[in-house]
Amino acid sequence: MIDPLFQAFLAQHDDDAWHRAVDRLQTAIHPVDREATRIWFHFYPNRLQQAVDTADDPAGLERHLRIAGRWRLADQRHTSHYFLFGHRYWPEVWDELLRFASRPVAPGSLDLAAQVQEVARLVAARLGVDVSRVVGITAVAVRTLQQVGPGSDVPAAVPATPAAEHPDQIVARRTRSGQGLWSFLRGRRREWTVTFDERSPKGSFPLIESQHLTTAAALDTRDYRSEDPRCTEGPIPVQCRSCSCGTCWVGVVAGAASLSPVEARERKTIAALGYLVSQDARPVIRLSCMAAAYGPVTLVIPPWNGQIGARLDRLQRGRVE
C-alpha cells in the first residue's frame, strides 16, 4: 500500500511541474533516453485523464475532444514506455518504486526531481548499472504511480538484451547516415531512413531528402491498419495533411535537427491541440505533415490523437464561469 504522505506529495504536481522536473533531470538521463523521456510525458498528460474521469459524460467528452486510439495510461501501465531504453529495467524499477513509496515516512525531499533520482539510485545499485540508464524510466514510473496507482498486475519480465544493444551504440546508430562515400553525387535524391519502431527490423521506411514524413510514410504500403485503425496510409496516422487535425503528431526520439524548422503555423496548431508545452526551436513533438527530413530520423508514434488543448480549455472555463 502506498504511504499517504507519499501520495500527498505526488498529488501536488501537475503536468507543468512534471515537465519542469524532467527538464531538470535531462543531464542526469543517459542520452539514449533524454528525448524519449520528454516524449513520454507529452504522450500521457494527467490533465486529459482528470478531465475524462470527472466528466458527467466521459464518452461524450472523448467525442468532443475527437480522441482516437489508446490514451488511457491505466491500460498500458507496464507497456507505455516501450520506446525507452530503460524499459528493459521496468520490472525492477516498478518493484523498487512500490517499496520506496510504501515506507511510512515523509519524502526525504519536497523536490520532485530529487525524489526521482533517489529511487533511481536504489534501482541502479540493485541492478549494478550506471544510474543514468534508469533515471528516465524511473521518472516515468513515479508519474505512472501518481496517475493510475499501483494496480494489482505484475509487470512481465523483459527479455535479456544482447550485449550489442549498449546505449552508446544505440545513440550512434540513430545518427548514422548510411549514405556511403559518394552519396553527394545523388544531390537532392539522397535517401534517408525514418525509424518508427526500434524493436522491429521492419520498423522503418525510406525517405527522399526534403520529403515530408507523411508523404514518405504513405509510400509504405504494408498493412498497418489491421493493428491500428488510424493508420490508413502507412505507419503514421494521417487525415487532413493541412496542419489542422493533429492526427499525424509524432515524438522525435533522435534527428530533430534533421527536420525542417517549426513554422509559426505548425507551432500554433500543436499548441491549440494541447500537444506541446515546450517552446524549443527543435521540439520533441512535431506534426508529420509539416516536417520535412534532411537526414536520418527516429520517431515514436503516439497510441492516440485528439484535440485536448483549446477545446478542453473552453469547456473547463465554462464550468468555472
Cβ(209)–Cβ(294) below 8 Å? yes
Cβ(205)–Cβ(216) below 8 Å? yes
Residues 232 and 272 in one domain: yes
Mean pLDDT, each 10-residue run in order, the chain (321 residues): 92 94 97 97 94 94 95 95 96 96 83 96 97 98 96 73 74 78 58 95 96 97 96 95 92 96 92 80 91 97 95 79 41
Give the chain's domain count.
Answer: 2
Q: How far apart are CA 17 and CA 39, in angstroms?
A: 15
Give the pLDDT confidence score for residue 321 in this predicted structure. Answer: 41
In a domain, 106, yes or no: yes
Domain span holding position 74: 4-148
Residues 123 and 208 in one domain: no
Residues 91 and 216 in one domain: no
What is the identity of the amino acid at 56?
A: D
Q: How far apart are CA 303 and CA 83, in angstroms?
A: 12
In a domain, 154, yes or no: no
CA angle 68/69/74 to nearest 5° reads 120
Residues 36 and 133 in one domain: yes
CATH of the domain at 223: 3.10.20.30
In a domain, 99, yes or no: yes
Residue that terminates a domain, selected from 129, 148, 167: 148
Residues 138 and 211 in one domain: no
Give the pLDDT confidence score for residue 121 in this predicted structure. Answer: 98
User: From start to end of the chain, where are the E strands?
Assistant: 68-69, 191-195, 204-208, 249-254, 285-287, 297-300, 304-305
In a domain, 159, yes or no: no
Residues 234 and 194 in one domain: yes
Residues 228 and 285 in one domain: yes
- Helix, coil or strand: residue 213: helix
Residues 32 and 98 in one domain: yes
In a domain, 288, yes or no: yes
Rg of the chain, C-alpha, whole Å = 20
Residues 121 and 181 in one domain: no
Residue with cell 535479456: 160
Residue that terminates a domain, selected from 128, 148, 168: 148
In a domain, 266, yes or no: yes
In a domain, 289, yes or no: yes
Residues 138 and 180 in one domain: no
In a domain, 252, yes or no: yes
Give the pLDDT confidence score for residue 179 in this predicted structure. Answer: 57
Give the pLDDT confidence score for residue 181 in this predicted structure. Answer: 47
Residues 225 and 186 in one domain: yes
Residues 130 and 205 in one domain: no
